[in-house]
A and B are shown apart, each in its own frame.
Chain A
Amino acid sequence: MSLILLVEQVLNGLQFGVMLFLMAAGLTLIFGVMGLINLAHGSLYMVGAFAAAAVAAWSGSFVLALIASLAAAAAFGALIELTIIRRLYDRDHLDQVLATFALILVFSEATRWVFGSFPLFLDIPDALSGTVMLPGGIQYSLYRLTIIVIGLVVAAALFLLISKTRVGMRIRAGESDREMIGALGVDISVLYTLVFALGAALAGLSGALVGAIQSVEVGMGEPVLILAFVVIVIGGIGSIKGALAGAILVGLTDTLGRTMLPWAFTTFMDASAANTVGSALASMLIYVLMAGVLIFKPNGLFGSA
């Protein structure tokens, strides 16, 4: 396996990882602050992608499309928080899982009703298409590189928001003691709506960015949702730092596993068998990783007991 291919795959893994981080950050914040398991997070990812595709088709502008994805996902997030989600905060996890599962059904079918069953396409803008030459003579897709940069910038902004601003201080206070921050006069329900909308907006952005590489279709959020859950379980639920570490770890493991495992197996079995066994194992690799992490650290890498 050549070095160039390896670097390319590492970059692909990073790109996948930062996208997962955008999803996982919202999930982990929502769980950390409100104690809610939100299965409908994948639907918000889908809403973001569809909003971006619709606006891009109408206006032709990719920047407008990204803004639309943020706005639409945040608006839908706030809407479901105000109408349904806030009734679930003091319910047990079983009720939360089922109610948000019901929301997935509603969102997916409503999207199918509005946009039809055929996938939409969101084009990579001209300015970002093509490849760039990286040091060492490696050609890499400019758009994927941009995604990595956007993801890292969002991650940095989120860290600053959480650790330096007043809102962030309240979010952290909400994580450690919900009743106390309410007693100190912070309007906790506004804070909850805000956190939920923020998480939703990040999911929507991630959907729009990935939508330009893959197709925009109903049900696109579900595989990503499950991966995002794997990420936050590995990282420790409620921890943003854990979400970032988990996302990069999962992104790299999955991407590298898919290229390296079949290749590694060719060293001791014939090519077609190696390909079969290797890709079957590669598709399970991140779940094996998660089981492994939980055996040694039942609360995840950065989780508190």
Chain B
Amino acid sequence: MLRESTLNIVIASLLLLVPVAALFLDEPFFITLATKVAILALAAVGLNLALGQGGLVSFGHATFFGVGGYSMGILASHAQSFTPLMEVPFLIEGTNSMPVIWLVAMIASALVALVVGALSLRTSGVYFIMVTLAFGQMFYYFTISWPAYGGEDGLSIYVRNQFPGLNTLDPIQFFGICYVILMLALLFVSRLNNSPFGLALAGARQNTERAQTVGINTYRLRLVAFVISGAITGLAGALFADLNRFVSPTMFSWHTSGEIMIFIILGGVARLYGPVAGAALFIVLEHYLGGLSEYWHIYLGAILLFVVLFAHGGLIGTLSKKERRHA
């Protein structure tokens, strides 16, 4: 059995080696697949901070994924049509520069997470799950019925946005961008989890009353964690939109929330690399089962049921054999 830290290095290297090998074998499709894994893993890394470390079972992280996606969609569509986003009270132009879009996506989703979190964190347990779900649906129906940015049909962006010094349309270069961001996010989250903030957050999950007794404001603590979590998932949304060059209300749907959660469960709750392992496993399953049968969701459902019922700790828990309880 491997130690978890060794396993993490193996996973990180595999995610890097597969697209590089694909580049030399001239199989660009696998590069795109690996890019998708990196981006979806990033979204799940965001959720894992709230769900794993904080114990906040958010069933509405599609909200932030979608806000990030639409931040990119709206800015890039204005840049594409050369129309300003707004003129009064001051002029805001669209942009196709990735760093600017990322910043906007993170700020926008952090702000939405602040509002959603401030309201949802007043509840707990099953109410929290349902309220976050409801906020996701609110955005879903709003984007469907709001015609300005494509409504139900979504919004196509014809050219991938620019990153200084790189050709983002080259699959391997775009993969590089996503991979570096994922690694930075993992580094950030692992530092955060071991900081006083992260430890207090884990303490509040294990015993809220005790955390409050020693003087921790658990509401504020959780809200900050929720906002950071939302911002990371929002950044993933912007990247996902750039990968597909398309945004649609589906990004807000509750299936998206469910899938982000599935990555974490498949990989292992509260494990640093759980989201990466889970997203990779999911995409591989989707690719191979999808090729095997039209009805691959049946197998996916069965595998998921098996993991939830029997394989506690997910992929990382099973491979590293060191049980870390989440409860």
Query: Which residues of A are at the interface with B, using a C-beta cutoff of 8 A?
Result: 31, 37, 84, 87-88, 91-95, 97-99, 101-106, 108-110, 112-113, 222, 226, 229-230, 233, 237, 276, 279-280, 282-284, 287-288, 290-291, 294-295, 298-300
Whole-angstrom distance between the alpha carbons of A98 and B264 in the complex? 11
Which residues of chain B are within 8 angstroms of A99 by Cβ–Cβ distance?
304-305, 308-309
Q: Which partner residue on chain B sits nearest A237 by CB separation?
A: B126
- Known contacts A287-B134, A287-B135, A299-B127, A294 near B300 by CB under 8 Å: no
Q: How far apart are B215's CB and chain A's nearest CB, in angstroms?
A: 24
Indicate if B138 sits at the interface (CB-CB under 8 A). yes
The reply to whether B122 and A103 form a contact with Cβ atoms under 8 Å apart is no
Whole-angstrom distance between the alpha carbons of A94 and B147 in the complex? 35
Indicate if B22 sits at the interface (CB-CB under 8 A). no
Beyond A279-B145, A291-B131, A298-B123: 12 further Cβ-contacts under 8 Å? A97-B261, A98-B262, A98-B265, A99-B304, A106-B305, A108-B297, A226-B137, A229-B134, A276-B146, A284-B142, A298-B122, A299-B127
Indicate if B89 sits at the interface (CB-CB under 8 A). no
The reply to whether A109 and B298 form a contact with Cβ atoms under 8 Å apart is yes
How many residues on chain B are close to A (CB under 8 Å)? Answer: 42
Indicate if B141 sits at the interface (CB-CB under 8 A). yes
The reply to whether A283 and B145 form a contact with Cβ atoms under 8 Å apart is yes
The reply to whether B304 and A102 form a contact with Cβ atoms under 8 Å apart is yes
Whole-angstrom distance between the alpha carbons of A104 and B59 in the complex? 16
The reply to whether B133 and A106 form a contact with Cβ atoms under 8 Å apart is no
Which residues of chain A are within 8 angstroms of B119 by Cβ–Cβ distance?
291, 294-295
From A103, A229, A287, contact of B305 by CB (8 A): A103
Which residues of chain A are within 8 angstroms of B147 by Cβ–Cβ distance?
276
Which residues of chain B are within 8 angstroms of A226 by Cβ–Cβ distance?
133-134, 137, 254
Q: How far apart are A192's CB and chain B's nearest CB, in angstroms?
A: 17
Among B214-271, those with CB < 8 Å from A are: 254, 258, 261-262, 265, 269
The reply to whether B142 and A283 form a contact with Cβ atoms under 8 Å apart is yes
Whole-angstrom distance between the alpha carbons of A94 and B126 in the complex? 9
Q: Which partner residue on chain A sits nearest B51 by CB separation?
A: A94
Indicate if B144 sits at the interface (CB-CB under 8 A). yes
- Known contacts A106-B297, A294-B119, A295-B119, A94 near B269 by CB under 8 Å: yes
The 9 A-B residue pairs with the shortest CB-CB distance, nearest first, are A105-B301, A106-B301, A102-B304, A283-B141, A287-B138, A109-B297, A102-B301, A280-B145, A105-B297
Which residues of chain B are within 8 angstroms of A287 by Cβ–Cβ distance?
134-135, 137-138, 141
Q: Which partner residue on chain B sits nearest A277 by CB separation?
A: B146
Which residues of chain B are within 8 angstroms of A98 by Cβ–Cβ distance?
261-262, 265, 304, 308
Q: Which partner residue on chain B sits nearest A229 by CB separation?
A: B130
